[in-house]
Structure 1
Amino acid sequence: MKMAAGGCWIVFLAAVGLVCGLPPVRWLLVSPDDPVIKTLVALAEREYNSVSGQDDVYRALRIRDVRRQFVSGIRYDFTVFLGRTLCKKGDEELLDNCRLHSLAPLTEIQCKYSMLVFPWVNETKVFEQTCSQEGIIKEENEPSSEQDVLAMKAEDKLLQTLSLFKDFVTTYNKKYKDDEEASMRLQIFSQNLKKAQEIQEKDQGTAEYGITKFSDLTEEEFKTLYLNPLLSSQPSRPMKMALMPTDPPPAQWDWREHGGVTEVKNQGMCGSCWAFSVTGNIEGQWFLKKGSLVSLSEQELVDCDGVDKACAGGLPSNAYEAIEKLGGLESEQDYSYLGHKEQCGFSTNKVSAYINSSVEIPKDESQIAAWLAQNGPISIALNAFAMQFYRKGISHPFRILCNPWMIDHAVLLVGYGDLDGKPFWAIKNSWGTDWGEQGYYYLYRGTGACGMNTMCSSAVID
Structure 2
Amino acid sequence: KEIRDQGSCGSCWALAAVEAMTDRRCIASNGTQNAHISAEDLLTCTSVGDCEGGSPVGAWQYYKRQGLVTGGNYNTKQGCLPYTLPSCEHHINGSRPSCDGEGPAPPCSPKCIDGYPIPYEQDKYYGESVYSIGEKQEQIKTEIMKNGPVHAMFGVYADFLAYKSGVYQHLVGPYFAGHTVKILGWGVTNSTPYWIVANSWNEDWGDNGFFKIIRGRDECGIESGIVAGAPKLK
Structure 2 Cα separation of the partners of residues 402 and 370 of structure 1 = 33
Q: Within 5 Å, give how 1:29-44 maps onto structure 2.
A: none
Structure 2 Cα separation of the partners of residues 341 and 368 of structure 1 = 34
Question: Match of 1:357, SS?
Answer: strand
Q: Within 5 Å, give how 1:260-271 maps onto structure 2.
A: 262-271=1-10
- Asked if the contact 1:402/1:450 (under 8 Å) is kept, the reply is no
Q: Which has the higher contact order (CA 8 A, sep 6+)?
A: 2
1:338 aligns with 2:84: yes
1:447 corresponds to: 217
Q: Within 5 Å, give how 1:34-433 maps onto structure 2.
A: 262-292=1-31, 293-308=34-49, 310-332=50-72, 333=78, 334-339=80-85, 340-346=105-111, 347-351=120-124, 353-385=125-157, 386-398=159-171, 408-433=178-203
Shift of the 341–443 alpha-carbon distance from structure 1 to 2, 3 Å rule, reads: same
TM-score, normalising length: structure 1: 0.40
TM-score, normalising length: structure 2: 0.78
Structure 2 Cα separation of the partners of residues 367 and 311 of structure 1 = 31
Structure 2 Cα separation of the partners of residues 324 and 280 of structure 1 = 15
Question: Match of 1:305, SS?
Answer: coil
Q: Structure 1 stretches (4+) deviating beyond 3 angstroms?
A: 400-403
What are the superposed Cα offsets for residues 215-244 of structure 1, whole Å, 9 maximum, x if unpaired? xxxxxxxxxxxxxxxxxxxxxxxxxxxxxx
Shift of 1:323: 2.0
What are the superposed Cα offsets for residues 351-374 of structure 1, whole Å, 9 maximum, x if unpaired? 2x3212210000111211122112
1:435 aligns with 2:205: yes
Question: Match of 1:383, SS?
Answer: strand
Question: Match of 2:161, SS?
Answer: coil
Structure with greater proportional helix content? 1
1:220 corresponds to: none
Shift of the 407–446 alpha-carbon distance from structure 1 to 2, 3 Å rule, reads: farther
What are the superposed Cα offsets for residues 350-401 of structure 1, whole Å, 9 maximum, x if unpaired? 22x3212210000111211122112210000111113211111111124x96
- Asked if the contact 2:184/2:196 (under 8 Å) is kept, the reply is yes
Shift of 1:441: 1.0
Shift of 1:407: 6.5
Q: What percent of counterpart residues are identical?
A: 24
Shift of the 303–364 alpha-carbon distance from structure 1 to 2, 3 Å rule, reads: same
Structure 2 Cα separation of the partners of residues 336 and 429 of structure 1 = 19
2:93 corresponds to: none
Larger Rg: 1
- The amino acid that maps onto 2:183 is L
Question: Match of 1:266, SS?
Answer: coil
Q: Tell me the matched-pair count.
A: 196
Structure 2 Cα separation of the partners of residues 396 and 272 of structure 1 = 24
- Asked if the contact 1:425/1:444 (under 8 Å) is kept, the reply is yes
- The amino acid that maps onto 1:304 is C
Structure 1 Cα separation of the partners of residues 174 and 186 of structure 2 = 20
2:115 corresponds to: none
Q: CA RMSD in A?
A: 2.0
Question: Match of 2:138, SS?
Answer: helix
Structure 1 gaps, min length 5: 1-261
Question: Match of 1:344, SS?
Answer: coil
